[in-house]
Amino acid sequence: MHTNNIDKDSAQIMAFSSSKSYITNYNPIIFTFVAFFLIVSSSSSSSSGLDSGSRIPANQTFRPRHELHKLKRIRSYLRNINKPAVKTIQSSDGDIIDCVQSHLQPAFDHPKLKGHKPLEPPAERPKRHDLNDSVSESFQSWTNNGESCPEGSIPIRRTTEKDVLRANSIRRFGKKIRRGVRRDTMSSDHEHAVGFVNGEEYYGAKASINVWAPHVTDQYEFSLSQLWVISGSFGNDLNTIEAGWQVSPELYGDNFPRFFTYWTTDAYQATGCYNLLCSGFVQINHKIAIGAAISPRSSYNTKQFDIGIMIWKDPKHGHWWLEFGQGLLVGYWPSFLFSHLQRHASMIQFGGEIVNTRSMGYHTSTQMGSGHFAEEGFRKASYFRNLQVVDWDNSLIPLSNLHLLADHPNCYDIRAGKNNVWGNYFYYGGPGRNSRCP
């Protein structure tokens, strides 16, 4: 997976003299609208999952009947989700990457895709308004030894029994579970520092996202940085397409930042999933494994790396395509998956989110971004840069009215600015628990 190494000259340009800071002090109607989305879109991270003490050793001969039944169901699920491989790669970070023939990937289990093959790339991509950029490229950990999947196949991170056992159930595994909508963001266990635009018709979005490895203190918490493409009434018909990086010990079993995708068409109730853990997203690229670790990562006050993400709607066929890095097409979400997003998006959102379970009785120390507040700036705080949206003419354009929201600003905050090198950008994040965030 490609990451971008930001030229150190950029540091001299990222002064905050022209930046602005927003927390929650603006139109209450917009705040309620965004806060409602943030709660609906939050994933369940309750601590009711199995801990290591409740897992069943593989060599244990006597098991209660209900445990045997659960294992039987899990193994049946794994046989369905893990497709036959033409090649298997053992990654240095512990992942197993299966190279699966592209027409056998999970997407083609969908009734509307059975018997199909991946589409050819769209003839036209959004017309670019790229700014000057100085980057170096790197790959995912599984490619570090020169390994790759052959043409005609795609790399898929193998799902293991341990992966599923960390979740509370097969139904929950790989999904964002809606536990009821609370309109008061302050009472939620999901906390955000985000920028968003709304009020127009959007046909895609693009951003470069700084990559870190934030510390996540509880197995049932996560820290992510992503962009959202959103449409719907923010009720049961909410449609979203999401991509970015996340640290999720529950989903992956470690603390590595991993490239991920998500989609839903009914507010996270029955449809959609992370990565390729259900039928839906169609991958066409044989170099990128969705769900695999990103390498290298940024370090405090040293080299910085970011990843480019673009999602856009092909004007000819209507499918939503995903581009990674410097022009690598990953794949697409077929338009028939969605209701409102068959037409266009009504909101684009960028930023960070964490889960705060308060498992110790006080605010979590799970970090967002780099774990440092926005005011520290380049090489210290995490950033999004070159924020753009795709308009009706399939052109990338700068943001015209970026709103910022930090719903727990003493724990995680956000500051934005604009210049000729990074275009629209913001710094965001924080350490979580501190003297002002007990």
Catalytic positions are: 242, 353
Please say whether the beta carbons of 375 and 163 come within 8 A. no
User: Quick check: helix, strand or coil at residue 239?
Assistant: strand
Amino acid at 333: W
How are beta strands 282-283 and 396-398 bridged, if at all?
Answer: unpaired
How many CA atoms lie less than 13 Å away from 295 in the CB half-sphere? 15
Please say whether the beta carbons of 115 and 170 come within 8 A. no
Q: Which residues are within 8 A (CB) of 5 and not within 5 positions of it... i.e. 6 or more apart?
A: 135, 136, 138, 303, 304, 305
DSSP state of 296: S
> Which whole-number Å values give the CA distances from 239 to 7, 39, 71, 346, 434, in the listed order?
37, 14, 33, 10, 36
Return left, alpha or beta for 321; rule: phi > 0 is left, psi -120 to 50 is alpha, else beta: beta
Q: Cβ of 377: how many Cβ atoms within 10 Å?
A: 18
User: Quick check: helix, strand or coil at residue 335?
Assistant: helix
Closest by CA to 432, choosing from 351, 373, 381, 360, is 373
In the numeric block, which tokens belong to residue 341? 């997003």
State which H helix or E strand residue 206 sits in.
strand 204-210
In the numeric block, which tokens belong to residue 316? 């000819």
In angstroms, the CA 69 to CA 62 distance is: 13
**CA dihedral for 24, 25, 26, 29, sign (positive or negative):** positive
Q: Which residues are within 8 A (CB) of 222 and not within 5 positions of it... i.e. 6 or more apart?
A: 43, 45, 216, 246, 247, 248, 249, 250, 251, 353, 354, 355, 366
In the numeric block, which tokens belong to residue 311? 């999602």
